[in-house]
Structure 1
Amino acid sequence: MNAATNALIIDVRTPEEFIAGHVRGALLIDFKDASFDAKIAELDPNAEYIVYCRSGNRSAQAAARMREAGIGNIVDLGSLENASAKTGIDIVTD
């Protein structure tokens, strides 16, 4: 996996964590937010997704919920650092 991936990268951490640093181009969908299920319901079920969080716990739970919602092509890369390393995409701040 590298920066050439067509997958949408989803950061499932909190907005505060996202602002402190995230993979360039990542979409924030906070796993702990009450709107998480509604937001993933809007995603294309046929697209490719990469999810990550701080340590891998929330991303694993988010990936499971996404699969339950009918999204099948998900790669859970665990932590922010691992997601950056595996995709080759820089960590940036906003």
Structure 2
Amino acid sequence: MLGKLLKLLGGSRGATYQTIRSGELQEILKNDQRAQLLDVRSPGEFQSGHIPKARNINVMTPKFKNQLQGLDKSKTYYVYCRSGMRSAKACKIMAKEGFEQVNNLRGGIMGWNGKVV
């Protein structure tokens, strides 16, 4: 039972991430200037609009894991995409790569913009 739960949350023991709502993230960004925001959409999607101060790292490229190596694993990351699916994938990868504090934005940028709940 525990193994199934861990697999759903990220794959292996310690490899987990949290899901947060846009309202929670908005409060965090107001109060924590050190919050690390990752947009894992394509560069074109990022160019068409993104959350301020977000860094773009495309989860769909083969270079994604290599680009993660340049990030500080001790920081807290808030990850989003268009709807939350690619960012969930990115969060799983990040957790497996040793990132301890990873959060997926529920509903992605669509949720942020109020287009989904």
Give the TM interval when normalised to the shorter protein.
0.7 to 0.9
Q: CA deviation at 1:83?
A: 4.2
Q: CA deviation at 1:72?
A: 1.1
Q: 8 Å contact 2:83–2:110 — kept in the other structure? A: no
Q: Where is the helix percentage greater, Structure 1 or Structure 2?
A: 2
Q: 8 Å contact 2:91–2:102 — kept in the other structure? A: yes
Q: CA deviation at 1:42?
A: 1.6
Deviation digits for residues 11-34 of structure 1 (CA, Å, limit 9, x no counterpart): 000001000010001000000111
With normalisation by structure 2, the TM-score equals: 0.67
Q: 8 Å contact 1:13–1:31 — kept in the other structure? A: yes
Tell which structure's C-alpha radius of gyration is larger. 2
Unaligned runs of 5+ in 1: 86-94
C-alpha separation between the residues in 1 aligned to 2:93 and 2:113? 23
C-alpha separation between the residues in 2 aligned to 1:52 and 1:68? 18
Alignment correspondent of 1:80: 109
Alignment correspondent of 1:70: 98
C-alpha separation between the residues in 2 aligned to 1:50 and 1:33? 19
With normalisation by structure 1, the TM-score equals: 0.82
Runs of 4 or more off by more than 6 Å in structure 1?
none
Q: Where is the strand percentage greater, Structure 1 or Structure 2?
A: 1
Equivalent position to 1:27, from 55, 59, 66: 55
Q: 8 Å contact 1:55–1:80 — kept in the other structure? A: yes
Q: 8 Å contact 1:10–1:50 — kept in the other structure? A: yes
C-alpha separation between the residues in 2 aligned to 1:39 and 1:67? 14
The total of aligned residue pairs comes to: 85
Q: CA deviation at 1:44?
A: 0.7
